[in-house]
Chains A and B, each alone.
Chain A
Amino acid sequence: MEIENKVEYLSPEGWRQWHLELLQSTLNRVYSRVPFYRKLMDEKGLKPEDVTDLSALKKLPFTTREHLEKNYPYDLFAVPLRDIVRLHTFPGPRTPIVKGFTRRDLASIRRLTARFLVTSGVTSEDIVQICLDPGMSIWIEELKEGAEEVGASVIPPDPQSVTNRIRIMRDFRTSVLVTTPSYALYLAHFMQEKGISPPESLRLIVFVGEGIEAPERLRLEKALGVDTRLGYGVTEAVGPGMGYECEEREGYHLAADYFLAEIIDPETGEDVKEGETGELVITTLTVKANPLIRFRTGDLCRFLPGTCPCGRTTPRISQIVGHSDGRVSIRGIKVSLSYIETLLEETYGHVPEYLLCIRRRNYLEELELWVAMNEKLFEPSILGLHRIAEKFEKTFEETFGLPCRLKLVEKDHLLQVAKGQKIIRI
């Protein structure tokens, strides 16, 4: 399938016009239709007409995940509710976060995801198997539709044991696997342990949800005999396929026809110096239902200098090196510390000292929350303590589709292990 991607090769002047036109129409829409943005812009004394240049973007206020929560359920929609044909919800610390899609939004995301997959090397001849946790349901949906748009045959991640997944891979001659790096590593390890040789048909793995370090990537490619490509996306903004590697595999090309990207210093909110690491900020340009202006993704990365030998003129970013907003990615699922704190507060009536441990067991990441014991935690019985912990674990798993064990530990031990951090990887 041919993918329309001429736009990726626009001249700098072409990009300037493209972005200006879309930014202006986005602002015209949000100013007249989203009271939240109208208020923010009025507070800054800004009207959509004042944006005559892309540099005016810097005068616009940021949108944070907290704003998304506070404006739950309807207040960030830029279209009447009846125009929204799909609603996805995902957990926020206090309220759910909602993202709506108009028919047009779905079509445009489908096209973008297809472009991402085609650039990654997927063709209409491929059998694409998606292996992602249920916590990534939005992406599963979008990746499935994108692969279908390419014309490939898709095997979505229906609940199956690993053994069965490998069997299906073999029986249906899966040629492309779409998964997280951690699951791919786990799969490789599992095959090795059980003495199963990797399916011969498998030729490409498209990684989503998280990055992977170069040596580990190489090892995986060798072990499975495949090529790999990485994709990047922000669920709240556009979806998967917002960034993808070309054949050069030198960073993510951003889909600059869908959004504007900035990298700022998370402390000051100012642009970082050229090539420095900072927080990626996204302004959507084509989204109709839930447009976002200067959305702080919390993802730390840097712009890569120079133009890519592939000829695309879209900006490139490095892999994500961390999160500035206390979120952590486990198997591609983003868990925020503020959510954990809210849940601890609900469970114990206060937020005790805690430490989030990400344990890698057989390459699969597992979560453990260590909670420091204190006098306020005490229950008359051990059973009571267990029940409370179970309640926490249940709510956590319900919310993220991911288990998290709660472990009570001595405060001194916790502090010793944590060394001032709230998250550690073991």
Chain B
Amino acid sequence: MLTVRNLTTHYGPVQALKNVSLHVGKGEIVCLIGANGAGKSTLMFTIMGVVRPSQGEILFEDEPIQGLEPPAIVSRGISLVPEGRQIFYPLTVEENLELGAYQRFKREPKESVLADLESVYELFPRLRERRKQLAGTLSGGEQQMLAIGRAFMARPKLLMLDEPSLGLAPKLVDSILQAIKTLNEKGLTILLVEQNARKALELAHRGYVLETGRIILQGRTEDLAADEDVRRAYLGKDYQKFTD
């Protein structure tokens, strides 16, 4: 579904991604793990068209999408749940969700948007309870649910999530990840960036390990979970010594 080839991205003189190649097959959950600053978010932003790559190809359903503006990429079927949720605090929960479907109102009957809204409420009953509440008053976990729900409202084929568990209590992390799994079981393809490597590896089918802008390892998640490098990275023990 998504194929990335030789992607290189610069922030000024700093090379944030170095020749990154990866793919996400239809129906898969693929996770990207790596330390802070490894380039995970940059990769997401580059796929989304927020950051322009200096080299490489991004193919979505066999069509090149590099160079397209973010709205065009969203309408092709990719949605991003950004790190830190980035929801609209002064708007209500429902308004936030409707904004997620912004591009669809022009070309689709309202009913189909409302049906998806219903699906979001089914997935996260808490959001239904708080539909008229201002997003800024939600707890961290609820805000994350809202961010996922909002991305889902664009009816993506590929949902990319950047650190969905960041700053959440362990119990909430589980329920967010469970929701991602449910979405996947309903047919949504997922690319997940997660610092909580253990959780990500439990959830995903395959994974890539990004280190200072390069992919150094990939494979089935059970192999990665058993991999010494990954274990060190995950445990945070003397990781620096072996990778730099």
Contact = CB atoms under 8 A, between A and B. Distances in A.
B242 A24 contact: no
A22 B217 CA distance: 8
Contacts of B229: 79, 83
B21 A21 contact: yes
Interface string B31-57: 000000000000000000000000100
B224 to A, nearest CB: 8
B215 A21 contact: yes
Interface string B1-33: 001011010000000001101110000000000
Interface in B163-197: none
Interface residues of A, number: 23
Given A21-B215, A24-B19, A52 B228 contact: no
A286 B218 CA distance: 9
Interface string B210-244: 01001111110001001111000000000000110
A24 B21 contact: yes
Contact of A21 (B23, B228, B242): B23
A80 interface: yes
A203 interface: no
B3 A17 contact: yes
A17 B21 CA distance: 8
Contacts of A48: 18-19, 214
Nearest to B228: A83
A28 interface: yes
A29 interface: yes
Q: Which interface class (under 10, 10 to 19, 20 to 34, 35 or more) fits B?
A: 20 to 34
Nearest to B227: A104
Given A104-B223, A107-B223, A288-B227, A17 B23 contact: yes
Nearest to B62: A13
Contacts of B6: 20, 52
Nearest to A21: B21
B24 to A, nearest CB: 11
A79 B21 contact: no
A104 B8 contact: no
A138 interface: no
Contacts of A51: 19
A25 B208 CA distance: 10
B216 A49 contact: no
A49 B8 contact: yes
A1 B228 CA distance: 28
Contacts of B226: 103-104, 107
- Determine which residue in A24, A48, A52, A286 has the highest number of CB atoms from chain B within 10 A of its CB, and name it: A24
A24 B211 CA distance: 13
Nearest to A29: B216
Interface in A89-114: 102-104, 107-108
- Determine which residue in A20, A22, A104 has the highest number of CB atoms from chain B within 10 A of its CB, and name it: A104
B209 to A, nearest CB: 8
B215 A24 contact: yes
A52 B53 CA distance: 15
Interface string A183-211: 00000000000000000000000000000
A79 B243 CA distance: 10
A21 B19 contact: no
Nearest to A80: B242
A81 to B, nearest CB: 11
B16 to A, nearest CB: 13
A25 B23 contact: no
B23 A79 contact: no
B8 A25 contact: no
A20 B5 contact: yes
Given A79-B229, A102-B228, A21 B22 contact: yes
A5 B6 CA distance: 27
A24 B23 CA distance: 13
A32 B5 CA distance: 21
Nearest to A289: B228
A32 B211 CA distance: 11
A108 B223 CA distance: 8
Nearest to B217: A25
B34 to A, nearest CB: 12
24 contacts: A17-B21, A20-B6, A20-B21, A24-B215, A25-B215, A25-B216, A25-B217, A25-B218, A28-B211, A28-B215, A28-B216, A29-B216, A32-B243, A48-B19, A48-B214, A52-B5, A52-B19, A79-B228, A83-B228, A83-B229, A103-B226, A104-B227, A107-B226, A288-B227
> Which 3 A/B pairs are nearest by Cβ-Cβ distance?
A83-B228, A52-B6, A28-B214
Given A25-B215, A32-B216, A32-B243, 15 more contacts: A21-B22, A25-B214, A25-B216, A28-B211, A29-B216, A48-B19, A48-B214, A49-B8, A49-B19, A51-B19, A52-B6, A52-B55, A83-B229, A102-B228, A108-B223
